A and B are shown apart, each in its own frame.
Chain A
Amino acid sequence: MSDLTAATLEYATRLGDDALVLGHRISEWCSNGPFLEEDLALSNVALDYIGRARMYYTYAAELAGGGKTEDDFAYTRDAREFRNLLIHELPRGDFAYTMVRQLLVDVFNLLYLEALTQSADANLAAIAHKAIKETRYHLRRSKEWVLRLGDGTAESHKRTQRAVDALWGYTHELFEIDALEQSLAEVGIGVNNTGLRPAWLAQVSAILSEATLTVPKDDWAVRGGRVGYHTENLGHLLTELQFLHRAYPGLKW
């Protein structure tokens, strides 16, 4: 396997991890939503993410060869081998927390996927083209909810601001790059995410301000997802996500 193939394989896996872990988190709302319609809507978003994870993993499996499948990536790797950014694995919290995280991630994803549609790698570009349509809809939802909750009752405002403050330190990692992603960005395959922050901050700040929320100071940051250093939450998430496959390897529905 060439260095470039190996790097692309790792890159596709990382993006798949981001999608799978967040998709699983959102899926935890299924049957726990605040009301039926929102329950359905959130479950749809979760399915979009899980579908996205499947596309990235299927491509990674194709690059890996040797009969690997998407399931190998989702179900047989341990927490330290997952490369998702930390913001995706944090517990779902209350509804305000979930919607604030979606807003922060949706604005980022829109910018990121727009860049990825220009990828020199046809498969990654195709995945981005499909995913970006979903993301536009996700953002429409999360933006509306943050406006509604932030500018809602005293209680909803308090919870929404608390969520923004609790999540802010996890957003810096979205705009950091390591040598592998740098090398892929240089050959036009990967996205150079370091330049996306000004646009992201402008959009997020405008929405938070409109929602009467305060944009936090950049005085703390947590990182480590891309090298496999995770919060304690990922292990618990994987326990549930991987249980069936680990207990009954190769089980078919």
Chain B
Amino acid sequence: MANLELYEVFVRSRRGLDHKHVGSLHAQDAEQALEYARDCYTRRSEGVSIWVVRSRDICASQEDDSASFYDPSDDKPYRHALYYQLPDAVNNM
């Protein structure tokens, strides 16, 4: 069908947890996307809450950006917890 749009589906499986991305589906509008999400992704009662978002409304970082986005972090080891030596007195953190 020509007028279908792609939606991303997020399901929260239990109270207190975050909504997790579970997949995508086609639907004509958000209301229908919610119904199909129920049929496609929650048949075994996985969910207590569903979000659907039009895929085209998601702004995603691009592969080409990775140099400027992530590489600068590589030479900043102090941003990682492993960089720091724990005093013996602290067993767990």
Residues on A lying within 8 angstroms of B by beta carbon are 34-38, 40-41, 44, 137, 140-141, 144, 148
Contact = CB atoms under 8 A, between A and B. Distances in A.
A148 B28 contact: yes
A189 B28 CA distance: 43
B31 A37 contact: no
Nearest to B31: A144
Contacts of B32: 144
Interface string B34-71: 01101110010000000000000000000000000000
Contacts of B39: 37, 40-41, 44
A157 B81 CA distance: 63
Contacts of A35: 1, 4, 26
A141 B33 CA distance: 11
A179 B40 CA distance: 44
A243 to B, nearest CB: 28
A3 B4 CA distance: 56
B30 interface: no
Chain B: number of interface residues, binned into ranges: 10 to 19
Contacts, number: 28
B11 interface: no
Interface of B: 1, 4, 25-28, 31-32, 35-36, 38-40, 43
Contacts of A37: 25-27, 36, 39-40
Nearest to B43: A44
Given A35-B26, A37-B27, 10 more contacts: A34-B1, A36-B26, A37-B25, A37-B26, A37-B36, A37-B39, A40-B40, A41-B36, A141-B35, A144-B35
Contacts of B1: 34-35
Interface centre among B25, B36, B39 (most CB of A within 10 A): B39
Nearest to B33: A37
Contacts of A36: 25-26
Contacts of B26: 35-37
24 contacts: A34-B1, A35-B1, A35-B4, A35-B26, A36-B25, A36-B26, A37-B26, A37-B27, A37-B36, A37-B39, A37-B40, A40-B36, A40-B40, A41-B35, A41-B36, A41-B39, A44-B39, A44-B43, A137-B38, A140-B35, A141-B35, A144-B31, A144-B32, A144-B35
Contacts of B27: 37
Contacts of B43: 44
